[in-house]
Amino acid sequence: MATVTSSSNKGISIFALAMLNIVAVVSLRGLPAEAEYGLSSIFYYIFAAIVFLVPVSLVAAELATGWSEKGGVFRWVGEAFGAKLAFLAVFLLWIEVTVWFPTVLTFGAVSLAYIGPDQTWDQSLSENKFFVLAIVLAIYWFATFVGLKGTEAFAKVAKWGGLVGTIVPGIILIILGFSYLTMGNTPQIELGWSELVPDFSNFNNVVLAASIFLFYAGMEMNAIHVKEVNNPGRNYPIAIGISSFGTVAIFVLGTLAIAFIVPQKDISLTQGLLVAYKQMFTWAGIGWASPLIAICLAFGVLAGVVSWVAGPSSALLVVAKGGYLPRFWQHTNDKGMATNIMIAQAVIVTFLSVTFVVLPSVQAAYQILSQLTVILYLIMYLLMFSAAIYLRYSQPNRPRSYKIPGGNIGMWIIGGLGFIGSLTAFVFSFIPPEQVAVGSPTIFVSILIILAAIFVAIPFAIFRARKPHWKDPQINDFAPFTWELENTHPGVVNHSDAHVHTLNVKQD
């Protein structure tokens, strides 16, 4: 990912880092789900930003600068709690992305369905489960093919896809939606200060709103850039503030733009965005533009999938080469890509996508996989927040270029807020939302529990079966944990004031 540096080559500017974070997080796909709440969606966005987005950003920055060796979240959790939970964390990061693919690809399939001139026919096609399944599999396997071609290949697709498929459509959505309102048209939602406060007496409102946490997921991916920021103690929080405000603004304005145009009863999780564009373009007298925006959105989905096909798989490959997966999973092609891991991921995506055919509706399958993604991702975040707090005590002198201010109390406030917010969203994610027809609620919840349990059990089973020969002795670029170097155990207090490999114990 390209970065912008100053003319004196002093590092990433505040604005550049803020833009990196916004591009990494913002997606238009989930806006219809929150548009159902009208003005009260503003509350949910701001609440999730305070208790999740900001804590993730700040905690990840401290962890990335304190433990910058290969492994990412595997390294962070492993330093605090050991390799077993660390492997769970990195596996969940990989598998939640795998589960996420069918949901985002469903959005891409629906986008392609809306390139026709007849909206009634387009809607009927978008609800055809076999059409959706065929497009989902075609796009994903093509994205895997591109990803296997290496970094240069998928970087080009990701660069243009982010611009054409997200930024431009987002700007158009906001401009047309608010133009519709300011030109005297009647909005489809109630406007008034009282509407900003959600109806907390309706528990189902909170359930569907829990999915908003995943809107903000991914900010930790750019935490590594904090080492390239001048005066990170001052400038990184400023960049986080700017990017958080920008991300929330885009989500809020885009959601309201949909809510102004599309009646609540007509909002669909998979079709709402396309219906909004269709109605906006018809109102503006440019109905011919609907197929174009559908193609742009579909291309944006392809670009996003191409980027994420390789990223988490590469992270799992690093851990595999550390001796945590059999040699078979460490295989790479001539481009250095994790061939066998990526193919296995494609097989899992194919299996999950087929569930669209057997479940009551595409929308039900979409919601189940969306909530499963949230559940798996939040387990990883719970481990990350816990590790950050624990490492303040087990490795208090570890150098950190960025450190959450306020000492251990500051970490408890920020890390604790993120942990509680993640735990709350985790619990709510198991409850079926009233707004979506998911068939039997019992079956819905049972599927979520069974799938979550299976995906959590898999890494524990792999770790238990680990063999010494999985570690290739010729690979020496995977640094051991600090507690391994000192021949102790994870969690034992270590007063080292240096990074691993060159320990220098600080005397009290």
> Are 414 and 340 spatial neighbours (Cβ–Cβ below 8 Å)?
no
Task: Residue 102: name the closest of 128, 138, 71 by CA.
Answer: 138
Cα(391)–Cα(159) distance, integer angstroms: 36
For residue 218, give the H/E element and its range.
none
- Report H helices in 163-231: 168-182, 203-209, 212-215
Cα(418)–Cα(81) distance, integer angstroms: 19
Q: What is the dihedral of CA 255, 257, 259, 263, to 10 degrees?
A: -140
**CA 440 and chain centroid, separation:** 28
- DSSP 3-state of 5: strand
DSSP-derived letter for residue 39 is: G
Largest Cα separation within the chain, whole Å, is: 76
- DSSP 3-state of 431: coil
Architecture of the domain defined by 14-471? Up-down Bundle (1.20)
Amino acid present at 60: A
- DSSP 3-state of 141: helix
Cα(465)–Cα(325) distance, integer angstroms: 9
Cα(329)–Cα(342) distance, integer angstroms: 10
Cα(293)–Cα(456) distance, integer angstroms: 39
Cα(279)–Cα(290) distance, integer angstroms: 9
Both structure tokens of 131: 């059409």
Give the position of tokens 């390294």. 75
pLDDT at 508: 41
Residue 227 CB-half CA count within 13 A? 11
Residue 484 CB-half CA count within 13 A? 12
Distances from the Cα of 21 to the Cα of 246, 291, 376, 444, 494, angstroms: 10, 30, 22, 34, 33
Burial profile 213-242: b = 16 or more Cβ within 10 angstroms, e = fewer: bbbbbbbbbbbebbbebeebeebbbebbeb
pLDDT at 226: 66
Q: State the helix-helix crossing angle for 362-394 and 83-113, rounded to 10 degrees.
A: 150
**CA 260 and chain centroid, separation:** 27
Cα(76)–Cα(173) distance, integer angstroms: 39
Cα(400)–Cα(446) distance, integer angstroms: 43
Its sign, for the CA torsion 11, 14, 16, 18, is: positive
Cα(47)–Cα(42) distance, integer angstroms: 8
Per-residue pLDDT of the chain (508 residues; tens, 9 = 90+): 333 333 344 566 777 777 767 766 777 777 877 777 778 888 888 888 888 988 998 898 888 888 877 778 899 999 999 999 999 999 998 998 888 888 778 777 777 777 766 667 767 777 777 888 888 888 889 888 888 887 666 666 766 776 787 778 888 999 998 998 888 888 877 787 777 777 766 666 666 566 677 788 877 766 666 666 777 777 777 887 888 888 888 889 988 888 888 777 666 655 667 778 888 888 888 888 888 888 888 777 777 777 677 778 888 888 898 889 999 998 888 888 889 999 999 998 898 888 766 665 556 666 777 788 889 999 999 999 999 999 999 999 888 888 899 999 999 999 999 999 899 889 888 877 665 555 677 887 888 899 899 999 999 999 999 998 898 877 766 778 888 888 888 878 877 666 554 444 444 4
Give the position of tokens 């709440």. 37
The set of residues, in sequence order, having a beta carbon less than 8 Å from that of 90 and lying 6+ positions away, is: 71, 72, 73, 74, 315, 316, 319
Both structure tokens of 449: 């529990």
Distances from the Cα of 323 to the Cα of 303, 331, 342, 442, angstroms: 32, 13, 18, 40
DSSP-derived letter for residue 12 is: B
pLDDT at 382: 96
Task: For the beta carbon of residue 43, count every other beta carbon within 10 angstroms.
Answer: 15
| pTM for this predicted structure | 0.81
> Are 240 and 45 spatial neighbours (Cβ–Cβ below 8 Å)?
no
Cα(214)–Cα(72) distance, integer angstroms: 19
The set of residues, in sequence order, having a beta carbon less than 8 Å from that of 465 and lying 6+ positions away, is: none
Distances from the Cα of 54 to the Cα of 36, 96, 216, 227, 239, angstroms: 25, 21, 9, 18, 11
